[in-house]
Amino acid sequence: MQLYPTSKFLIVNPYGIGDVLFSTPLIRTLREHFPKSNISILIGSRTKELLKNNPHINEIYVYDKDHYRSLPRFQRIAYLWKLHSTIHRNKFDVLFDLSNTNEYGFFAKFFWKVPYRFGFQYKKRGLFLTQKIKIKNGFEKKHVASHYSDLLRFLNLDPGVIHKKLDFFLDPGEKYHVTEQDLKICFLPGGGASWGPNAQNRYWPMSSYAKLGDTLSKTFHAKIFLIGSLSEKNLCDQIQSEMKSPCINLAGQTSLQELAYLMHASQLVIGSESGPLHLVTALKTPSIAIYGPVDEKTYGPYSAQKTHCVAYQEDLACRPCYRNFRMPKCENRLCLTELSVDHVLKIATHLLNNKN
């Protein structure tokens, strides 16, 4: 393989906030070793705000699947033709395909004409890749970000020396001004749009959030902010209705950048393991991520800091049960319903008492 200082790299990650953030260590490392190269990324419409201020990226291509599906047949063809033609004209040298599908490898080989195509072999989904890493049961045993960075081995780079952190850059033009002078704690009870119809299987009970909020409000004189997307407003409304202490419900009222500013200005963020919780990790705000069916070793906070904690029900043989990128059916959700408020409160108390 022959690469030059000005080689062109294309990274494909069409998934949610967490997945895109997990790819930032790979992007940063590419920039460190190829400072004059062109590094571009193809992502979905829901995550473009995550990377728009990232100085390591030259260009962002957006594949808006929701918009694409809303178009008549001939307009769909025109939409795809424009996107693929733009990528083809850039003549990329290397593809990092993080999609675990055959779709983008196919386009890279036959339409974009990318000579070197790196990715993962999962259930024969790496058919059009030139170099691939086999993952038999999905991502496991180590963090997803580490799996992504392993692809750098094909460039003879050592992923073992990568700094353990995620990158996110705030936009001063979208600053969310917080007037509250109290100690601020954010609750993120939902999980973001990428969870789909199985989202409820990953929620800690709203009644538990309400009890935790009342205790933190009373003990630390904290102001509780309830945040999430508009589709998660019902969750925040339920917490607000059950809390005895006053709280501020901002569900559906902030952009991604405004949400990031609010969490950055807070002393603690608590919520279900989700893309926004990984954003908190990138912001370096102390956090508690609540894990149920998902393995915290693989999808947990990716940081060297000890202020990003996880809470999960220990000594439960059935967890984690999320494997092969699938969530099995579960009738009792013991991994979440049995996780006590006191357990999460103990972690929160430690973080707040040692915040300086």
pLDDT band at 160 (very low <50, low <70, confident <90, very high): confident
Average per-residue pLDDT in the chain?
92
- Tell which CATH architecture fits domain 8-161: 3-Layer(aba) Sandwich (3.40)
User: pLDDT at position 196, please?
Assistant: 62
What DSSP character marks residue 162?
S
CA-based R_g, the chain, Å: 21
User: pLDDT at position 253, please?
Assistant: 93
pLDDT in tens, 67-104: 999 999 999 999 999 999 999 999 999 999 999 999 99
Angle at 245 between CA 341 and CA 286, to 5 degrees: 55
pLDDT in tens, 311-328: 999 888 889 988 888 888
User: pLDDT at position 303, please?
Assistant: 95
pLDDT, mean of residues 105-126: 96
User: pLDDT at position 356, please?
Assistant: 58
User: pLDDT at position 349, please?
Assistant: 98
The answer to whether 22 touches 278, Cβ cutoff 8 Å, is yes
Q: Which of 187, 183, 145, 184 is nearest to 162 (CA)?
A: 145
pLDDT band at 124 (very low <50, low <70, confident <90, very high): confident
User: pLDDT at position 182, please?
Assistant: 76
User: pLDDT at position 154, please?
Assistant: 97
pLDDT band at 201 (very low <50, low <70, confident <90, very high): confident
Decide whether 8-161 matches 172-353 in CATH topology.
yes
pLDDT band at 197 (very low <50, low <70, confident <90, very high): low
The answer to whether 148 touches 22, Cβ cutoff 8 Å, is yes
The answer to whether 92 touches 112, Cβ cutoff 8 Å, is yes
Calculate helix-pair angle for 233-242, 206-220, nearest 10 degrees.
50
Q: Which of 68, 86, 90, 89 is nearest to 77 (CA)?
A: 68
Token output for 264:
């950055």
pLDDT band at 161 (very low <50, low <70, confident <90, very high): confident
Q: Which of 94, 260, 262 is nearest to 170 (CA)?
A: 260
Q: Give 306-349 as a DSSP string.
A: TTEEEEE--S-TT----BTTB----SS-HHHHTS-HHHHHHHHH
User: pLDDT at position 207, please?
Assistant: 98
The answer to whether 104 touches 15, Cβ cutoff 8 Å, is no
Rounded CA separation 219/324 (Å):
42
User: pLDDT at position 177, please?
Assistant: 65
User: pLDDT at position 22, please?
Assistant: 98
* Rounded alpha-carbon distances, angstroms, from residue 228 to 7, 12, 252: 40, 26, 6
Domain limits, the chain: 8-161, 172-353
Domain 172-353 fold: Rossmann fold (3.40.50)
User: pLDDT at position 193, please?
Assistant: 60
Percent of the chain at pLDDT exceeding 90: 78
The answer to whether 27 touches 57, Cβ cutoff 8 Å, is yes
**Residues 6 or more apart whose Cβ sits within 8 Å of residue 184:** 178, 222, 223, 225, 262, 265, 266, 267
Checking if the pLDDT of 276 tops 60, the result is: yes
pLDDT in tens, 40-56: 999 999 999 999 999 99
With tokens 């956090």, the residue in question is 287
Checking if the pLDDT of 180 tops 60, the result is: no
**Residues 6 or more apart whose Cβ sits within 8 Å of residue 247:** 213, 217, 223, 224, 225, 226, 239, 240
What DSSP character marks residue 127?
T
pLDDT in tens, 210-249: 999 999 999 999 999 999 999 999 999 999 999 999 999 9
Rounded CA separation 345/137 (Å):
34
